[in-house]
Structure 1
Amino acid sequence: MNTDETGQQSSPKAVLRRELLAGRALLTKENIARDAAALASAALHLDRLADARTVAAYVSVGREPGTRALLDALRERGVRVLLPVLLTDNDLDWALYAGAEHLLPAGRGLLEPDGPRLGPAAVVEADAVLLPGLAVDREGMRLGRGGGSYDRVLARLTAAGAHPALVVLLYDDEVLAHVPAETHDRPVDAVVTPAGVRHFER
């Protein structure tokens, strides 16, 4: 364990999260816009995404790798795009993406779809699940933000026997040699960065 500036002990995951968020804080609007366009282009060439009929995705906010262009491109292809709705217990409900004009501000700076809620189990219908994150390592282990929402999603997929492609969207320098992992953590199938796609062996 490390100790932070308040004297509290921090886990290796917490320390790495702070470092990665500090790196994102240095990004300019120009950096983010340029990388979002490249990210969408790279993601659309991913085989499991190209063949998907339903994709569970998310709306990027702040300095996250941009997803807006990708969401619109998927929708234009006729893909059924599911977006998360954060519940009070940090679990995720889902609703259909009907365009940027149907996104509403929600808590924690999030944007959520205004359509009917489909229930937390709707994600098991997805052919691919796009996951937010802060890093991934060469084994495909993903570091999330620490809220646990996507741990529940992944557990729900496992319980249902569903095997969608799990894809994390990151900046190029967030693909690391090693990410701290716990027993409940699941590897992803691929990472998409502005530079391209990398697949992992399961």
Structure 2
Amino acid sequence: MVLARLFRRKPFLREGYELYTAAVTAARDPALYTVLAAPDTLEGRFDLICLHVGLLIRRLRLDADPAGKDLAQAVFDAMFNDMDLNLREMGVGDMGIGKRVKRMWEAFHGRAKAYEEALEAGDEAALADALLRNLWGGHEMDPPDAPARLAARAFALSAVLAGQGMAALKAGQVDFPVMEQA
């Protein structure tokens, strides 16, 4: 009985990876780096992944379907399995992986909490401030309204995600519209 639980497939494992991959693809939208001048660095990419995955996980957790929480967990697990793998591919030794993944988890959790609070309050300015702090590190950027524009996009993405049916999400299908280049 105990061994059976150890080898049982986690719920929505494949679907979690598919949803996570879609969020990463959305975070790599070239317009984020050209139009909004998001930093094209490891940290900048991580922050944009945190934003998109955070929006997706929020959508899943808020669904009335009890499977939403399992699917959200599957997306989270996929994200941190991928982070672990990427660190290993970058040459981080086994002894340093745990500490780095823990720091990434803490960073993701803090960002997701700040973003969710702003979304719940309907406060685009608070979300823009959080994005300025996290993505741009408080530095000035060109265009100067980039955090506000990204916050507006996050609110729009949240609405788009809310309109997507749970049946498609359970099948690992999600749509993140690309950002316009203009």
Between 1 and 2, higher relative CO (CA 8 Å, sep ≥ 6) is seen in 2
Q: TM-score, normalised by structure 2?
A: 0.33
If each structure's strand is expressed as a fraction of its own residues, which one has the higher value? Answer: 1
TM-score normalised by length of structure 1: 0.31
Q: Which has the higher helix share?
A: 2
